[in-house]
Structure 1
Amino acid sequence: MTHFIDPRLAELLAPLWSGDLVVGSLVGGRIVPGTGDTITVADAATGEPLYAYADAGAAVVAAAAASAREAQVAWGRLTGFGRGRILQAVGRAILAEAEPLARLESLTAGKPLRDARIEVTKVAEMFEYYAGWADKFHGEVIPVPTTHLNYTRREPMGVVLQITPWNAPIFTCGWQLAPALSMGNGVLLKPSELTPLSSIAVGLIAERAGLPVGLVNVLAGWGHTTGQAAIANEIVSKVVFVGSVPTGRRIAAAAAERLVPCVLELGGKSANIVFEDADLNRAAIGAQAAIFSGAGQSCVAGSRLLVQRSIYDRFVAMVAEGAARLKVGRPDAADTEVGPINNARQYDHVLRMVREGIAAGARVAAGSDGSPVEGGYYVRPTVLADVDNTMSVARTEIFGPVVVAIPFETEAEAIAIANDTEFGLAGAVWTRDVARGHRVAAAVRAGTFWINAYKTINVASPFGGYGASGYGRSSGIEALHEYTQVKSVWVETAAEPVAGFGYAPGVGN
């Protein structure tokens, strides 16, 4: 079963695809079948095969890299205004295909359809935002203390490799592509082998909207084969990775062999801190959104719920009651709030972590006891109470709809627990005390922090982590620094410049 496409998926792909309806990589404007082993992807809602395709392999990677380099030369020379105009058109084209893209994402990533619709509109917004920056991010004139005119140029990196995860494939596709293209780069995009299709569709739509053919190439394949070949390709000048800490370490090491810089957005075990003076109704709703939206498959999920002891029992009961009311169901059902886990491996990990937590003394206040269910990779929204921060469920990224509730006494203790982790991606505090909110935000080591809110992000705001959560930033103006390199140019302006060293030809002492 090297090539197989479920009829439901074939119906969605047909209007978006080009050429024969086969799953492969987008290379130079064409869908190119792979040459490696077969990859079979299951429908998360049923566990049954959804499609199968061949791993891209090194030859396809080489062709994609050559395509990106050829297209990037002209793209990099285009004016910022010209690039911005095309990126605006890409944003409009994505909006025009929003519904089929959302249905494709829902089916292949297991996302509730309503979530997928929101994410597709955000992808369009990303292209629109960075289209506006294309002609506004530039070098500077530096007032050096000499007779020189010194100025800097912001130049493209060249061809960048972007490796994106299975939990938010179309969102991270736009999140990475838009700033890189805005600054004049070519791209090799390597989505997870489990979710390549929506990224390929975005690439095809972008080309139809006017993006140069071959500028964006999407590689469908395994990380240890196709991904490794892309990192090793001499054309690649930067690597951007979104995913797990262990894989991030391996990718950074492989890139370092070639002295290629990286941006890493890795995991999280974020602390969501609730003080006794908080608006508890708002905080309870926020706590549910922080962990249960997206079935908890989010790097910024509020997976550690730190609650002041005086309200601990009451607040945990409130969150547990809300968790029990959330609708778990098929991604394509209109009333589904929590869909399935994306894949069998992650499903087994989530259930195993729940069982470990219970064995260590955690109490199930709501949801799963770690037992599997029939007919898909579903986990009920789960609240584990009476957790200590030393337990594995409080230290390991579960990446599912499971929150651990930890009590604290004082502000200082809450901050200490929040920072007692290798991660530093996000966090939040709920309190009516304005000063306390700012104190806690300043003290918790995290790249993104919310006060009386959770999980609000926007393309205009920088995003990235501290510690094991990675380095570099992948949105806002900071992303433009990641996708450019700085050249300093010195021009002598003096009519008779002072010669500090050497002799003119034919001139004596």
Structure 2
Amino acid sequence: MSTTTSPAAAARQALDSAFPRGLGAFVDGTVVAGGGERITLTSAATGEDFADFNDPGREGADAVLASAVRGAAKWAATDAFERAAILREVARAISEHVGELAVLESATTGKPLRDTRAEAAKVAEMFGYYAGWADKLMGRTIPVPGNWHTYTERVPWGVVAAITPWNAPLFTAGWNSAAPLAAGNAVVVKPSEFTPASTVRLAQLAHRAGLPEGVFNVAVGLGGTVGAALTGDPRVGKVSFIGSVATGRRVAVAAAQAGIPTVLELGGKSANIVFADADLDRAADGAVAAVFSGAGQSCVAGSRLLVQRSVHAEFVERVAERAARLRLGDPLDPDTEVGPIITAPQFAAVTSLIEAGLQDGGRRVTGAELPAAVTGTPLATGRWVAPTLLDGVTAANRLETNEVFGPVLGADAFDTEAEAIDRANGTNFGLAGAVWTGDVSRAHHVARSVRAGTFWINSYKTIHVAVPFGGFGDSGHGRSSGPGVLDEYTQTKAVWVPTRAAGAPFPSLSY
């Protein structure tokens, strides 16, 4: 099945439909054109330009923050039950526009429609889930010596700046805004300059569903202007960031210099461990989904495949056969399973790391050529990488420790359980991992031993807003989902009330 409209034309149509007056920042409930540097958007599927917009410049970034400060004061003063009701309306509005959001996301990023439909529905789920928590943020009463009634309150930070990546802009905008909003903060989302459209549309829908002006703003633009403003301005209470390790460290340093705490969700180089006693067909399906869905542009991609030696050759063949059958093509074609690499710099990085993996001794099993569905069409000028499997990727290979962020899987053999665990822990990343085995004791031992914030047993890549998500080491700090994330977006205030007006003098304090 194929579509009749070119990907670039489809992107222009989707943008014109969502933003008849052009794309820009979303401030005080309105799309506002910037006055700074011109930014051009290109189709990942064909390489053609399809739109442009202006960076807001420092003045525009200041206006976004000033609006958010006003919005934060209004939102924090809003009754918690009213906040919950509004967020439920936001969830409903997103649900009603899942199809539109998915088309906009696919058209402007190149992600397959089958993926973006699921992601748009998940964003609605996020807002619905945290709407249920908005009126349940409770403090504690604390018994202390003397005549005191002492209790705590959980209060919002004020303005939360959420810096999101280009690989899943709609999903991560919801992931990093629903919880802060439920906790009573205003949110400013800064999407990647490569993929801003779906985030602006999400904010429009949220505003129309009842969020007051300034409570959910979007600052589209460059890291050097908008990003720098958000990470270094004392009006920001907290920064959340999803992206690469290098950029995350720069964000953390800039925020720390301004006294702003951070939540960082960074990269991963996750190990997918397969033992000989596993259901090999199920494990092969899981290995393919773990790294090739989303064209590998996923922080939790299972990009390291470690297989017990007795079944290694057989298992690698099963994975290669499945990878070769994956359908590449027009992102808006419902049958497409793997899309292009979203940005030009990332395309260069992926192809470079494939060559490095080959130079370091890896053997290409599949992925040498693109299918005719790409090469024989206008898509041939796009940023395409065929699902690639390299075997014999040893611990010394550059593919072992460098995050590819593309549809590239490096495989190797192991002999013992201890060897598999050591190999899985052989990088500075600690985001995710998985084990496939029929031995329940081994499964739990490996899950406990591998240093990762999320670990799957006989499955891969399932996440849910109700479950904590985040990493160890170079994969970041803090958590971005689950009930506990509400602690990330609130501060604890202690209140002391004397229960007797007269009596002993106030105690002296040495603190």
Q: Structure 2-normalised TM-score?
A: 0.94
In the alignment, the residues of structure 2 paired with residue 37 and residue 325 of structure 1 have an alpha-carbon distance, to the nearest angstrom, of: 43
In the alignment, the residues of structure 2 paired with residue 232 and residue 496 of structure 1 have an alpha-carbon distance, to the nearest angstrom, of: 47
Q: How does 1:92-491 map to 2 (within 5 A)?
A: 92-368=92-368, 374-491=380-497
Question: What are structure 1's unaligned runs of at least 5 residues?
Answer: 503-509
In the alignment, the residues of structure 2 paired with residue 35 and residue 203 of structure 1 have an alpha-carbon distance, to the nearest angstrom, of: 21
In the alignment, the residues of structure 1 paired with residue 505 and residue 283 of structure 2 have an alpha-carbon distance, to the nearest angstrom, of: 69
| Residue aligned with 1:133, SS | coil
Q: Tell me the alpha carbon deviations over residues 333-373 of structure 1, each in whole angstroms, 9 at most, x when there is no partner.
A: 12111111101111111111111111111001111379997
> How far is 1:500 from its partner?
6.2
| Residue aligned with 2:237, SS | strand
Alignment-derived partner of residue 51 in structure 2: 51
Paired letter, 1:215 = V
> How far is 1:186 from its partner?
0.6
In the alignment, the residues of structure 1 paired with residue 503 and residue 283 of structure 2 have an alpha-carbon distance, to the nearest angstrom, of: 67
In the alignment, the residues of structure 1 paired with residue 30 and residue 306 of structure 2 have an alpha-carbon distance, to the nearest angstrom, of: 50
The percent identity for this pair of structures is 53
In the alignment, the residues of structure 1 paired with residue 503 and residue 22 of structure 2 have an alpha-carbon distance, to the nearest angstrom, of: 66
Q: Structure 1-normalised TM-score?
A: 0.95
Q: Residues 7 and 312 (structure 1 numbering): CA distance in 2 closer, same or farther, change over 3 Å? A: closer
Q: Residues 41 and 115 (structure 1 numbering): CA distance in 2 closer, same or farther, change over 3 Å? A: same
In the alignment, the residues of structure 1 paired with residue 305 and residue 12 of structure 2 have an alpha-carbon distance, to the nearest angstrom, of: 42
Aligned residues: 496
In the alignment, the residues of structure 2 paired with residue 204 and residue 414 of structure 1 have an alpha-carbon distance, to the nearest angstrom, of: 48
Alignment-derived partner of residue 505 in structure 1: none
Alignment-derived partner of residue 69 in structure 2: 69
| Residue aligned with 1:255, SS | helix
Q: Tell me the alpha carbon deviations over residues 148-200 of structure 1, each in whole angstroms, 9 at most, x when there is no partner.
A: 22111000000011000000000001101100100110111100000110000
Question: What are structure 2's unaligned runs of at least 5 residues?
Answer: 1-6
In the alignment, the residues of structure 1 paired with residue 13 and residue 335 of structure 2 have an alpha-carbon distance, to the nearest angstrom, of: 23
Q: Residues 237 and 298 (structure 1 numbering): CA distance in 2 closer, same or farther, change over 3 Å? A: same
Paired letter, 1:352 = S
Residues 28 and 217 in structure 2, CA contact (< 8 A), matched pair in contact too:
yes
In the alignment, the residues of structure 1 paired with residue 365 and residue 10 of structure 2 have an alpha-carbon distance, to the nearest angstrom, of: 38
Paired letter, 1:290 = A
Once the two structures are overlaid, the 10-residue window that deviates more, 469-478 or 221-230, is: 221-230
Paired letter, 1:479 = V
Paired letter, 1:404 = G
Alignment-derived partner of residue 3 in structure 2: none
Question: Among 13, 16, 21, which residue is 2:15 paired with?
Answer: 13
In the alignment, the residues of structure 2 paired with residue 138 and residue 463 of structure 1 have an alpha-carbon distance, to the nearest angstrom, of: 23
Paired letter, 2:330 = R
Q: Residues 282 and 149 (structure 1 numbering): CA distance in 2 closer, same or farther, change over 3 Å? A: same
In the alignment, the residues of structure 2 paired with residue 164 and residue 390 of structure 1 have an alpha-carbon distance, to the nearest angstrom, of: 32
In the alignment, the residues of structure 2 paired with residue 11 and residue 43 of structure 1 have an alpha-carbon distance, to the nearest angstrom, of: 13
Paired letter, 2:494 = S
> How far is 1:425 from its partner?
0.3
Aligned-residue Cα RMSD (Å) equals 1.7
Paired letter, 1:481 = D
> How far is 1:24 from its partner?
1.2
> How far is 1:40 from its partner?
1.1
